[in-house]
Amino acid sequence: AGIEHLLGLNPSVRLVLFVRDPVDRAWSHIRMNLTRGSVGDASAVLNGSHPMRQYIEQSEYRNSMTLWRSLTAPGQLNVFLYDTVGADPASVISRVYELVGLPAPDDFGAVSKRVHEGGQFAFPKELRASLLEQLTPQYDFLSAEFPEAVSRWLAKHRAALA
């Protein structure tokens, strides 16, 4: 209903979605909550005293991308890999400006500056393994569109668990 309402307000709206490694996205969200003190420690997510469901749901690309694509015109939903933001932020910003029909600025300023960065916390192996298991359907879905990125993401997590 929300998507249909948005499209009713502006049927030609250009949409941008950044897809991130699902486990990294969930861990980033957990780290932010740890930094803000809304989670005591990472074990609270594992032992169930702080619900893991919210982190899994926020990494739910399969259903959300399928739904958005089913309700939008071809080319209306533009999907980018989050990895490219860190690697080449200026090109990503230029592409977004182009998509919405605006001229890109000559100077992007401090586009490499990190904002809302979570604290540095050790990523418990048990938590990584649990997230990886629960998010397997997301990797399966994303591998059709981003096979190289998904292979890289999974290799990184498997190496960290070894």
Kindly indicate the confidence band of residue 118, based on its pLDDT and cuts at 50, 70 and 90. low
| Per-residue pLDDT at 116 | 66
Give the pLDDT band of residue 60 (cuts 50, 70, 90): very high
- Residue 119 scores a pLDDT above 70: no
**pLDDT digit string (tens) for 8-23?**
999 999 999 999 999 9
pTM over 0.95: no
pLDDT of residue 111: 65
**Three-state secondary structure string covering 4-70:** HHHHHHCCCCCEEEEECCHHHHHHHHHHHHHHHCCCCCCHHHHCCCCCCHHHHHHCCHHHHHHHHHH
Q: What is the largest CA-CA distance in the chain?
A: 50
Buried b / exposed e over 107-121, threshold 16 CB at 10 Å, is: eeeeeeeeeeebeee
Q: What pLDDT, in 10s, does the model give residues 126-151?
A: 999 999 999 999 999 999 999 999 99
Q: How many CA atoms lie within 13 A of 84 on its CB side?
A: 15
Position 73, amino acid: A
